[in-house]
C-alpha cells in the first residue's frame, strides 16, 4: 500500500491512486513501459499560460476556423482557408495581373511561340539578318524589320532630257520576299508647252513607276503625285530604288521637291 515518506505519498509499481466511487479511474506507475498511466480523460482549459493543457473546444474555435487542415507531420495546410489572402503586403511577389511592375531586368529566351519573352540578342539578330525572321504569324514583325525610308525635301531642277537622279534609297540585307514600294513628290515646269516626266526604278533597270504630265498652263503651281507598287518576289541581297525626273525640252526646266520613298516587306 502507499505510504508517507518525508511528506510525500509514495506508490510502488502498479499501485494505484483510485478516483471516483466505482473505481472509474486511477493513476499508477507502469514499470514495463516506464511511464505514468492515467486511465481516464484529462481535461484542459482555455489556455492563458504556455504550459496549460488546451481543450478541444479551444482548438476548434480558435484554430480550425482559420486552418481547415494541418498535417502535423509534413506541415502542409489548405491555402484557401488562410485569412487576409487579399492583403498586398509582400512586395517581393508579383501579381498575375501585372499591377506591380518589375524593379530589375527580366530575362527572355530565343522565342518559339508568340507569347515568349524575347532576348535583346534575338531582336538584334533578326534586324541585322544574322537570324532569320519569323515565318509563322510574322507578317507585322517582318514588315517592321525590313522597313526603309528616304526623303529629300529640297527643291531641285534640270533641263536634261535624260533622266536625272533625285533620290536614291539603298536597302541592304534583304531576304527574298514580297515588298511594297511607296513614293510621293511635287513637281512643276518652267514652260506651259512642254511635258514633265518622273520614274521610280529598282536597281537602275526595273521601272516600277512612270509619270508623264502633259503641258500645264500654270508654271508656278506645284503638282503633287503619290503612288505605290507591290514588288513580287524580290530576290535577297542589296537593292537600290531611285526616283528620277527630266524635261522634255533642253530649253525648259523641270522642278521637283518634297520627295519621299518608303519600302517594307509584306510576306
Whether the predicted pLDDT of 84 surpasses 70? yes
CATH topology for 148-265 is Jelly Rolls (2.60.120)
Identify the band that residue 73 occupies on the pLDDT scale cut at 50, 70 and 90: very low
Q: What is the pLDDT of residues 211-254, one digit of tens each?
A: 998 766 678 889 999 999 999 888 889 999 999 999 988 888 99
Q: What is the pLDDT of residues 184-204, one digit of tens each?
A: 999 998 888 888 899 999 999
Q: What is the pLDDT of residues 8-48, one digit of tens each?
A: 888 888 888 888 777 778 888 889 888 988 888 888 888 88
Q: Which phi-psi region, left, alpha or beta, contains residue 142 (left: φ > 0; alpha: ψ -120 to 50)?
A: alpha
Task: Enumerate the domain spans of the chain.
Answer: 3-38, 148-265
Q: Annotate 195-263 with DSSP letters as a single string.
A: -EEEEEEETTTEEEEEEEEPP-S-SSSPEEEEEEEEEEEEPSEEEEEEEEEEESSTTS-EEEEEEEEEE
pLDDT at 200: 97
pLDDT at 138: 47
Q: What is the pLDDT of residues 50-60, one digit of tens each?
A: 888 888 888 77
**Residue 152 CB contacts under 8 Å (≥ 6 apart), including other chains:** 166, 167, 259
Is the model's pTM score more than 0.85?
A: no
Amino acid at each position: 500500500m502507499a505510504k508517507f515518506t518525508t511528506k510525500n505519498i509514495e506508490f510502488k509499481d502498479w499501485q494505484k491512486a483510485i478516483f471516483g466511487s466505482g473505481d472509474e479511474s486511477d493513476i499508477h506507475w507502469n514499470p514495463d513501459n516506464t511511464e505514468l498511466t492515467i486511465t481516464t480523460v484529462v481535461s484542459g482549459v482555455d489556455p492563458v499560460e504556455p504550459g496549460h493543457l488546451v481543450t478541444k473546444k479551444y482548438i476548434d474555435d480558435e484554430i480550425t476556423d482559420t486552418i481547415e487542415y494541418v498535417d502535423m507531420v509534413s506541415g502542409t495546410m489548405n491555402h484557401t482557408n488562410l485569412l487576409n489572402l487579399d492583403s498586398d503586403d509582400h512586395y517581393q511577389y508579383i501579381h498575375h495581373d501585372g499591377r506591380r511592375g518589375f524593379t530589375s531586368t527580366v530575362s527572355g529566351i530565343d522565342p518559339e511561340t508568340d507569347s515568349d519573352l524575347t532576348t535583346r540578342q534575338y531582336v538584334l539578330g533578326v534586324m541585322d539578318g544574322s537570324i532569320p525572321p519569323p515565318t509563322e504569324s510574322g507578317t507585322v514583325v517582318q514588315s517592321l524589320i525590313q522597313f526603309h525610308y528616304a526623303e529629300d525635301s529640297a527643291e531641285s531642277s534640270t533641263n536634261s532630257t535624260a533622266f536625272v537622279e533625285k533620290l536614291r534609297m539603298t536597302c541592304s540585307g534583304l531576304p527574298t520576299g514580297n515588298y511594297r514600294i511607296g513614293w510621293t513628290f511635287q513637281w512643276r515646269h518652267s514652260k506651259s508647252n512642254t511635258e514633265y516626266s518622273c520614274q521610280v526604278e529598282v536597281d537602275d533597270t526595273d521601272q516600277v513607276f512612270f509619270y508623264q504630265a502633259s503641258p500645264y498652263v500654270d508654271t508656278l503651281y506645284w503638282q503633287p503625285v503619290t503612288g505605290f507598287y507591290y514588288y513580287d518576289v524580290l530576290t535577297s541581297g542589296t537593292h537600290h530604288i531611285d526616283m528620277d525626273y527630266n524635261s522634255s525640252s533642253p530649253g525648259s526646266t523641270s522642278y521637283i521637291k518634297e520627295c519621299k520613298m518608303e519600302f517594307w516587306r509584306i510576306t
